[in-house]
A and B are shown apart, each in its own frame.
Chain A
Amino acid sequence: MAEKVTFENALKRLEEIAEKLENPAEELDNAVKLYEEGVKLAAICNKYIDEAEQKITILSKSGEQNFVPEEE
């Protein structure tokens, strides 16, 4: 599961967990599980950011091709 989660979903889930843990009604057992999940998700998010590989392309007649803008 940890392999497939997208950055956006990981961040969304992380926000959800924070909201749940700010709710005093949450069961302690569940809170511990949520906390562990939160730690993992934050690591996944940061990994996404640190290892991001951006693709820059230009649309041509034969489809998208790599694009490097001209320098002045």
Chain B
Amino acid sequence: MKTNTLTVSQVNTYLKGLIEDDVIMSSVWVKGEISNFKHHSSGHMYMTLKDSDSVLKAVMFKGNTFKLRFMPEDGMVVLAHGRISVYEQGGQYQLYIDGLEPDGVGALYIAYEQLKNRLEAEGYFSLEHKKEIPQLPKKIAVVTSPTGAAVRDIINVISRRYPLCDICVYPALVQGSGAAQDIARAISEVNKIGDCDTIICGRGGGSLEDLWAFNEEVVAKAIYNSDIPVISAVGHETDYTIADFVADLRAPTPSAAAELAVISVLDLKGYISGVQRRINFGCKKMIDDKIMALKSVCGKISVQGVLNGYNQKRMYIDSVLKDIEGLVSEKLLGLRENLSVSLAKLHALSPIAVMARGYAAIFKDEKIVKSIDDINEGDNIKLYLKDGALYTNVTKKERKQWQKK
């Protein structure tokens, strides 16, 4: 056995020592394209960095991955920071990454795009899910830092525009570590207490890093799950955060959010007097219509019309009366004639008239005598003539046949 023989382990350990002692290799930036990326269930990330000629194995332990603001993908060109060391069991040197940034565009930008695309695909931005902002809120929750310009701007604008609603500030960290979780907690607290009609959630302007909490998934989810409508108000006009896309309404600035949250009392008073005008006009029109209707009815039943109708009836009645009169007098005339004829007939039949012609009526004991059988010879009888009576005695009876039977 040769005295300078080394074991495999000794070689690897020796090399490991050499490399780790090297100043350059202990802290190095490596630029390369990611391939064979694997996010292991243990939480560690394994990948190969490569350029056109060569490859370098790399690993990022779980503890360092938490700092990542984007998810590495195959084909992505990155700047990886770390140290080179030897994995003795595998006999391989590799890069132990402690920081990873996309080359070219920033890590935050990539993270933003990735989360935005994912949440959009999951329906977090869908218009159907967006709630209407109440027009006349009784209480507004402001989720933001209790110090700084944003909270002051929001309160000033709401107080000036619409002092009818109360404001409650739900203090939250809006930047730095834990900010996103704190914002999410405040939003769910507003929902839990539940006495507010609208949530304004935001902060004033700042760098992309300052606004970063509003690009995190936990905030997006809290806004999405809020039963109370959320108006986002992050940074300036040009800043678009994930929170803006999820919110029910996006305001370009905190002041603008306050303007969107409430109507101004001037507008409200104008609106109320508008409604009053509608009421006045409606009433006036109704009364005018009734007067018009009344007038048109009055026109139809004019006094002249009534008089004309009356006169016509009157004339008709007169003519009927005249007809009746005529008929009656005609009838009377007829009756009178009939009467004189009847009287004449009656006259003709009167015994007086008969006596005038020379006949006599014979009475015995005040009874008319119609036959000789009623009389005996020697009886006293009375003869009535036209101008008096004769008292006589019957001396003889003689039967005669005056007419054939």
Q: CB within 8 Å of B: which residues of A?
A: 7-8, 11, 14-15, 17-18, 20-24, 26, 28, 31-32, 34-35, 38-39, 42, 45-46, 48-49, 52-60, 64, 67, 69-72
Q: Give A69 to B265 CA distance when docked, in angstroms.
A: 22
Of A8, A45, A69, A71, which is in contact with the most chain B CB atoms at under 10 Å from its CB? A69
Give the A-binding residues of B (Cβ under 8 A). Answer: 136, 138, 146-147, 149, 151-152, 155-156, 158-159, 163-171, 189, 193, 265, 268-269, 272-273, 275-276, 278-279, 281-283, 285-287, 289-290
Q: How far is the CB of B385 from chain A (nearest CB, A)?
A: 101
Interfacial chain A residues near B147, Cβ < 8 Å = 70
User: In the complex, are the beta carbons of A56 and B152 less than 8 A apart?
Assistant: no
Asked whether A21 lies within 8 Å of B166 as measured between CB atoms, the reply is no
Q: Are B276 and A69 interface neighbours, CB within 8 A?
A: no
Q: Are A58 and B168 in contact (CB under 8 A)?
A: yes
The number of A-B residue pairs with CB atoms under 8 Å apart is 106
Smallest CB–CB gap between A39 and chain B, Å?
A: 8
Q: Is there an interface contact between A31 and B169, defined as CB atoms closer than 8 Å?
A: no
Separation of A55 and B171 alpha carbons in the complex (Å): 17
Given known contacts A11-B136, A14-B272, is B146 in contact with A58 (CB within 8 Å)?
Answer: yes
Q: Do A46 and B269 form a contact, CB below 8 Å, given A14-B275, A64-B168, A69-B155?
A: yes
Q: List A contacts of B275 (CB < 8 A).
A: 11, 14-15, 18, 38, 42
B193 / chain A contacts, CB cutoff of 8 Å: 59
The CA of A15 and the CA of B286, in the complex, are separated in Å by: 17
Partner of A57, one of B136, B164, B167, B273: B167
